[in-house]
Amino acid sequence: MNRRTVTILGATGSVGQSTLDLIERSADRFEVLGLTAHQDVDGLAAAARRVNARKAVIADEALLVPLREALAGTGIEAAAGEQAVVEAAGSGADWTMAAIVGTAGLRPVMTALRGGRTVALANKEALVSAGEIMTDAAKESGACLLPVDSEHNAVFQCFDADQPKTVRRVTLTASGGPFRTRTLNEMRAVTPEQAVAHPNWSMGAKISVDSATLMNKGLELIEAFHLFPLEADAFEVVVHPQSVIHSLVEYVDGSVLAQLGAPDMRIPIAHALAWPDRMETPCQRLDLVSIARLDFEAPDLERFPALGLAKAALGEGGARPAILNAANEVAVASFLDKRVGFLDIAAIGGKTLESFDPPAPSALDEVLEIDREARRIAQDIARNFQI
């Protein structure tokens, strides 16, 4: 593989750190143009030093001076502010990792896509909230959009893009999270500390809570719909506690292709980072004999209503996915702050959808306005659930 220029948006998060780990292990293959972070000055500066990045950007403008001090004498350019993050996304890198959490990542992702290069997408909100707008931008510029979520990357590896009509169904697998076997009454008392303790994956707090409610899988259904040219009802979710099979693609002849691997985000990231080639990783190798069994079960929509909300939002289309995503972010933040209960997360999302039904957005600014209003409504609703 030729030496590839890289920009990492969200370099200090779990996906960003995993990407940096792979780049550092193959430093001769990559040149880092830019790294961005929200507020973690120390983590950003340390990463920029390790990979000798040309530029480091902190989203919080108030932290520019500390960033400059942390990079003093390195020759690495420091910048700050949301616009500086957007400019980093448009730096012209061959390959951009889009791993900024939340709607803060929408403008940078759009900028990277308009650049017409390769964008590795780990930011769920880009396709959940603005799926058609984002994919249209990629088509217009000729950008290559590579999925990094383990499930979507697994589908990408198994899906015949040249003959999509031969695909009958796509199945995304879900671990079921830490409360897969708990009753509704037991889940009422769940704490944030318990919810972020995922049984298989190492992830950030927000994504871990989404996994515990199965909202994460619902949002992934919406993403998959925008990534792969099938009807909405061709996508389904199956609970698979071992997290060994990451997704399955069924063809019209009855053949089913599956991608398997250890639950380590460096595997799908490496696939996207080296694509269309492959690269070595330090990840644990799959040992099916030691695993011994693979279990599957249907998701329980009564105990995990968030998945049902996402399925309905996908079917309704328009602004519904963006509203649900915004409301869920507000609800999860309230739960992590111990202001609402675990079961209130899905309830807040459902009530926000009932209270707000704007026209479908046709531009990114409209998506962001819908997001702001949905958050405001969700915050008002969340106050009524406070514990």
pLDDT at 357 > cutoff 80: yes
Q: What per-residue confidence (pLDDT) applies to 318? A: 96
Q: What per-residue confidence (pLDDT) applies to 206? A: 84
Domains and CATH numbers, the chain: 4-147 (3.40.50.720), 149-263+285-304 (no CATH), 317-387 (1.10.1740.10)
Surface-to-core class of residue 282, CB atoms within 10 Å of its CB (0-12 exposed, 13-18 middle, 19+ buried): exposed
Count the Cβ atoms, other than its own, within 10 Å of residue 81: 16
Q: What per-residue confidence (pLDDT) applies to 31? A: 97
In terms of Cα–Cα distance, which of 315, 144, 160 is closest to 232?
Answer: 315
**Angstrom distance (rounded) from CA 335 to CA 341:** 6
% residues pLDDT > 90 (the chain):
91
Q: Two tokens at 101? A: 């959490």
**Angstrom distance (rounded) from CA 203 to CA 197:** 9
Give the pLDDT confidence of 6-64 residue by residue, as tens digits: 999 999 999 999 999 999 999 999 999 999 999 999 999 999 999 999 999 999 999 99
Q: What per-residue confidence (pLDDT) applies to 316? A: 96
Q: What per-residue confidence (pLDDT) applies to 202? A: 56
**Angstrom distance (rounded) from CA 180 to CA 174:** 10
Give the pLDDT confidence of 148-202 residue by residue, as tens digits: 999 999 999 999 999 999 999 999 999 998 999 999 999 999 999 999 886 655 5
Instruction: Give me the count of residues in the chain.
Output: 387
DSSP alpha helices (H): ranges in the chain? 14-25, 41-51, 64-70, 82-89, 106-114, 124-141, 150-158, 184-187, 192-195, 205-213, 215-227, 266-274, 288-291, 305-316, 320-336, 344-355, 364-383
Q: What per-residue confidence (pLDDT) applies to 122? A: 94
Q: What per-residue confidence (pLDDT) applies to 367? A: 96
pLDDT at 242 > cutoff 80: yes
Give the pLDDT confidence of 127-144 residue by residue, as tens digits: 999 999 999 999 999 999
